[in-house]
Amino acid sequence: MDTTLQDPLVGQLLDGRYRVDARIAVGGMATVYRAVDTRLDRVLALKVMHPDLATDASFVERFIREAKSVARLAHPNVVGVFDQGAEGAYVYLAMEYVEGCTLRDVLRERGALQPRAALDILEPVLAALGAAHRAGFVHRDMKPENVLIGDDGRVKVADFGLVRAVGSVTNTSGTVLGTVSYLAPEQIEYGTADTRADVYACGVVLYEMLTGSKPHAGDTPAQVLFQHLSADIPAPSALFPALAVELDELVASATARNPEVRPYDAVALLAQAREARSALSAEQLDAVPPQARTEDRAPDGSAPADDDRTDVIPRALPREEPGIHHTARLAMPRPEPAVAAPTGSRTAWPPRRGVLALLIAVVAVLGIGTGVWYINSGQFTRVPALIGKSEKEARQTLDKAGLDVKAVRHDFSETVARGTVIRSDPGTNERIRGNGSVTITVSRGPKIVKVPDVVGKPLAKAERELRRAGLAPGVVTREFDESVAQGSVISTDPAADSSRSPDTAVSLVVSKGAPIDVPDVTGESVEDATAGLEEAGLKVKVAEERIHSAEEAGAVARQSAAEGTQLARGDTITLTVSKGPRMVEVPDVVGDTVDEATAELETAGFEVKVEKNFPFLGDKVESQSPEGGGQAPEGSTITIKLKGL
């Protein structure tokens, strides 16, 4: 059965532009769809944040940061971002659609790759990350799922959702973000991630391409994290003996546990990869790997615990409240200075008994599935009644009980009013640890809602009624209408009583009232012009700058809306005041022919009048008034007389 048929977005037109055709993939934070941009008629990928995360400002910020970051990376090996927007509960990115598969798909189908193929994939990945690193960004979640391979062979890096500016990644503000199989030791232990964390992840990806399996496996994510901290990535030749030593060295360099001895960024690692390739013979590049091991499994045959999701591991200290005993957190000690390894050996952070014992404790805690870095003290409380409360009230109730909101989800309900809590997890009166978190589900109202009749109502009131009905006020356009009061709604699209899904945008046409025909006030005094326009229902603004014109000084020389233009009551007209006509030097045209004189005077900005006092005249100018050489107002009339025959 095609599960995409159950997806409410499939078949919809998102934001009035993107037609959602099919669901491609579902991740921890978002779902990716194949869609068509109906304006540009092109296929693209639409990455839509899960609606229950859209209320989390940090997730929305990270989502928008991805759009802005990738938009700045004009690189052929980076999946481009075209647009970012939101409609109702859906926050989305419109991205380049790559027809093909992911590197994860290739590894699942084929297992280990020949060295040539592995380098052919690694090099464009490093080129893309190198562009990001040099632009000041760190990806922080490199893994085979984020490497796209097009049907035309192009390799592109996707999902910059965890991207951060290099200068801002000294720590991760209390959480470790990423996928456990590819996290660098410093990300796990200290929450730090710079360009070298991406280098480490690429080294792990290269190992996986060369061997067909991940370097560390375990029953729980904590066991995998512990191995990244305590053990070097093994040489891929241990599983693929025919591999050249240069490839072992390349993996070792990229995955050194001490970040100080790794290549500084992807550009440096790319240089090493190309150097390693140049040292290999054709036979070494085309070495055929042995049968790759089946995807790492837990002892009982189940999927490994270190799956390929992006995990968030809280590290924050608890709030201390009077009378409440909070569980103790494990303090992670600061690292000791790195010790340089002997030449030719793998360099790692020096072992520390305290850290080792600490991590064993962490493994024990995480191994039972809690997913947080603390030891439970056994204090419990009961979840208070939240059903029927608003989200704000539910948060306040939980806070009084010493509990936190883990997540806010949204769901349809035919019986519970929109914006109020439908259920909680754990449920009412269920036991929960004294500083635990509760997931609440808030009603979106009925699955189908009717558009309310807001025609004739003021715009602000109409928008409030649409929101109460579970719809979103859309684009507002304004038109003249003599029968509907100015500022009130003329019509809606969809029309009243239409059935729509919640959060559908409703566009509104708002009345500008009866039109006002603008009179011509040029030549009038400012006082008279202002009085006439205000009497007509318009507002008047007088421009500070004055201009030369044919109108006398102090009169209106120009108006911003021409005579006959239709404006709405309360619209503003700007009047420009005249400084009087400009004084222009009068050309001397005596002795010129009548045609020459007329052309010269008109070019200078004057009107020309020809006087004929005798029935028989020649075509030469005998005199002019005013005389040549003097000055006269621009646009005034110069009289010329012709000589008699």
Q: Provide CB contacts within 8 A for 345, sequence distance 6+.
A: none
Catalytic site includes residue 141: yes
Contact 213, 290 (CB under 8 A): no
- Write down the residue that tokens 């019986």 correspond to: 415
Task: Check residue 371 and give left, alpha or beta (phi > 0: left; psi -120 to 50: alpha).
Answer: left
Label residue 140 exposed, middle or buried (CB < 10 Å: 0-12, 13-18, 19+).
buried
The β-bridge relationship of strands 404-411 and 437-443 is: parallel
- 141, 159, 194, 481: the catalytic one is 141
Neighbours of 527 (CB within 10 A): 9
Q: Identity (one letter) of the amino acid at 115?
A: P
Neighbours of 624 (CB within 10 A): 21
Contact 77, 133 (CB under 8 A): no
Neighbours of 165 (CB within 10 A): 12
C-alpha distances in Å from residue 229, one per residue of 239, 297, 319? 22, 21, 29
Separation of alpha carbons 587 and 606, rounded Å: 10
Burial state string for 549-585 with b = 16 or more CB within 10 A and e = fewer than 16: bbbeeebbbebebeeeeebbeeeebebbbbebbeeee
Take residue 47 and report the two structure tokens written for it: 């990455």
- The residues annotated as belonging to the active site are 141
